Amino acid sequence: MPARPVDVAALVAAARSGSPRAVARLISLVEDRHPALREVMAALAPHTGQAFVIGLTGAPGVGKSTTTTMLVAAYRARGQRVGILAVDPSSPFSGGALLGDRIRMQDHVLDPEVYIRSMASRGHLGGLSWTTPQALRVLDAAGCEVIIVETVGVGQSEVQVAGLADTTVVLLAPGMGDGVQAAKAGILEIADLFVVNKADRDGAAATVRDLRHMISLGDRTAPGLWRPPVVTSVASRGEGIDEVMEGLDKHREWLQSSGTLQQRRLARAADEIESIAVASLRARIGSLHEHAGLNRLATDVVAGRTDPYAAAEEVVAALT
Amino acid sequence: MPARPVDVAALVAAARSGSPRAVARLISLVEDRHPALREVMAALAPHTGQAFVIGLTGAPGVGKSTTTTMLVAAYRARGQRVGILAVDPSSPFSGGALLGDRIRMQDHVLDPEVYIRSMASRGHLGGLSWTTPQALRVLDAAGCEVIIVETVGVGQSEVQVAGLADTTVVLLAPGMGDGVQAAKAGILEIADLFVVNKADRDGAAATVRDLRHMISLGDRTAPGLWRPPVVTSVASRGEGIDEVMEGLDKHREWLQSSGTLQQRRLARAADEIESIAVASLRARIGSLHEHAGLNRLATDVVAGRTDPYAAAEEVVAALT
């Protein structure tokens, strides 16, 4: 089925002038891998690089939605345009489908300076690594000064979100075995700011103490490195927002003064280029498949006549 | 640091003659991506293709370890050599590290006809998709007639394990919101056999009924397709093993008589070849990186002078 034609220049102009509908359509083009995507990305490029990207991750139940809502309110109070990408690594549903779950977000649903988008990553090649950076470019070019990428911390998603963000916020709640979780998931390495949410519950002080202790044992205490602060909040009541914003602002200042911001963005762009290049090479392997070359090699591997490495070498030789 | 030299022919011969130490060493070579890996895979190839691979997946707490133990006992009673790969998609630990957790496996730890190996997949490129197929080849060539790949069903792991297995067993337990979980995770599409474990608990009959109802609504009820049976067990007491084994045996017969076994194995080999080829192409992109080409392109993307697609096109052109 041929894709519907798209007036890319008009769509990008409309998104830049603040049309939520145009932004939504551009993100749908990203998710659908529409043929016009290359043209879209070329048109967006000159307008990107302004947004500050916050990654927000944590286990189910720690209060990611309420924390995002609290952050949105704080950035809106500063007069900034805000984008939210809620990425669910376990869901096959995308677009508007998840918005029904996000009841607490409804304070901001009607605010034209706030874009909210739920994206699925399950089933996408590479999960977060493929569609999310491109959706970020759309929101960035549409004038969002802050973009919050919110994702459930399961599997590798929290490491992936850290790879996309300028600042990574790891959210925890008391009494969820946080200490062990933190060590296991490697979040000590990726967090720029720890927020212990639901701090009115028993065990909050212990969670803060455990985290600080673990941070003190790590390798991020050397001079010149950023040592992630640990702050507390009760996001459902907006408590702790000043401390959270202070932590975010300080990290942003440090990113700029230390040159880390540019380094992170270069690394992020290099990853993005690499994944697009790899996808393009994969597509070429796919066309080999259609021409029966890969099928013949697979048959030889199953029969034990060759091994996967030798077969892969033939594939690479055929491509290059 | 140069890798320790390996006498591949001697190691493969020792593994084939039943040395657990040689098998362990070969799997370590896989995990370490040792330079001798290509030679190892070439030496193993003629001895592969005999093992029947069972993927076993389910949420935490459904009883995967006890079910694996029950299956091992049943296959050992048939005199078969059994391999077990326990893949933890959330753990950075590998090798012997997790064996301490597998107390219930100790019945079999000293049985020379049972190989048990825990593998981490977190942090590995592509998770299960890279190291596990190669570890399967090692166990296959070492004469395991049955290999059980056990993995926690989080993120995409249960879909990945289905891609590796001849028969995929999805384990559930009553009272865990199974119906919704099943629909969400897409396990209806991947399961060849459902086992409702802990069937002595409240709600087991309802879980079985819900599953059967969902299967009846799906597209696997057409003539000639395999309709996944739903059986119950109490693995900790060995109850239900006959029904589980009957389900496994029947599926295996169907795989062979329908030609699906060969199809699945061809698809698996093609995936494996493709991921090795892509990794090899990635390594070439990495060497581009060292030559500053990718860094220059990333700088242009961050500055908005180009977009990631145009940059990726330059990368692909430089490689091919």
Lowest mean pLDDT among A98-107, A185-194, B107-116: A98-107
Write the residue in B38, B299, B313 that is nearest to A266 by C-beta. Answer: B299
The answer, yes or no, to whether residue B107 has pLDDT greater than 90, is no
More confident residue, A49 or A110: A49
The answer, yes or no, to whether residue A109 has pLDDT greater than 70, is no
Contact A6, A30 (CB under 8 A): no
Per-residue pLDDT, B41: 92
Per-residue pLDDT, A124: 46
The answer, yes or no, to whether residue B302 has pLDDT greater than 70, is yes
R_g (Cα) of chain B, nearest Å:
22
ipTM: 0.79
Per-residue pLDDT, A251: 97
Mutate to test the interface with B, among A307, A315, A316, A320 (most CBs of B within 10 A): A307
Nearest CA in chain B to A262: B302
Residues of chain B positioned with their CB less than 8 A from the CB of A160: none
Lowest mean pLDDT among A15-19, B30-34, B179-183, B266-270: B179-183
pLDDT class for A97, splitting at 50, 70, 90?
Answer: very low
Q: What is the DSSP letter of A4?
A: P
Per cent of chain B over pLDDT 90 is 42
Q: How many CB pairs below 8 Å do chains A and B form together?
A: 194
Per-residue pLDDT, B99: 38
Per-residue pLDDT, B146: 97
Mean pLDDT score, B15-36: 88
Nearest CA in chain B to A37: B309
Per-residue pLDDT, B101: 39
Per-residue pLDDT, B44: 93
Q: How far is residue A98 CA from its own chain's centroid?
A: 17
Q: Is B285 left (phi over 0), alpha (psi -120 to 50) or beta?
A: alpha
| Stretch (H or E) spanning A74 | helix A64-77
Superfamily designation of domain A47-258: P-loop containing nucleotide triphosphate hydrolases (3.40.50.300)
Write the residue in A270, A274, A309 that is nearest to B276 by C-beta. Answer: A309
pLDDT class for B116, splitting at 50, 70, 90?
Answer: confident
Mean pLDDT score, B266-270: 89
The answer, yes or no, to whether residue B164 has pLDDT greater than 80, is yes
| Residue pointed to by tokens 């087991």 | B204
Q: What is the pLDDT of residues A68-80, one digit of tens each?
A: 999 999 999 999 9
The answer, yes or no, to whether residue B103 has pLDDT greater than 50, is no
Contact B42 A280 (CB under 8 A): no
pLDDT class for B108, splitting at 50, 70, 90?
Answer: low
Residues forming a β-bridge with A53: A147
The full set of domain ranges for chain B reads 47-258, 270-319
B155 part of contact set with chain A, CB < 8 Å: yes
In the predicted model, what is the mean pLDDT of chain B? 83
**Whole-angstrom Cα distance, residue B103 to residue A50?**
54
Per-residue pLDDT, B97: 33
Rounded (5°) CA angle A65-A229-A188: 80
pLDDT class for B204, splitting at 50, 70, 90?
Answer: very high
More confident residue, A5 or B236: B236
Lowest mean pLDDT among A45-49, A211-215, B177-181: B177-181
Please tell me whether the overall predicted TM-score, pTM, comes out greater than 0.90 for this model.
Answer: no
Residues forming a β-bridge with A57: A151, A170
Residues of chain A positioned with their CB less than 8 A from the CB of B154: 90, 154-155
Residues of chain B positioned with their CB less than 8 A from the CB of A319: 277, 281, 320
The answer, yes or no, to whether residue B178 has pLDDT greater than 90, is no
Q: Half-sphere exposure of residue B73, counting CA atoms within 13 Å on the CB side?
A: 19
* Residue-wise DSSP of B44-103: HGGG-S--EEEEEEE-TTS-HHHHHHHHHHHHHHTT--EEEEEEETT-S--BGGGGGG-G
Mutate to test the interface with B, among A53, A87, A309 (most CBs of B within 10 A): A309
In the predicted model, what is the mean pLDDT of chain A? 83
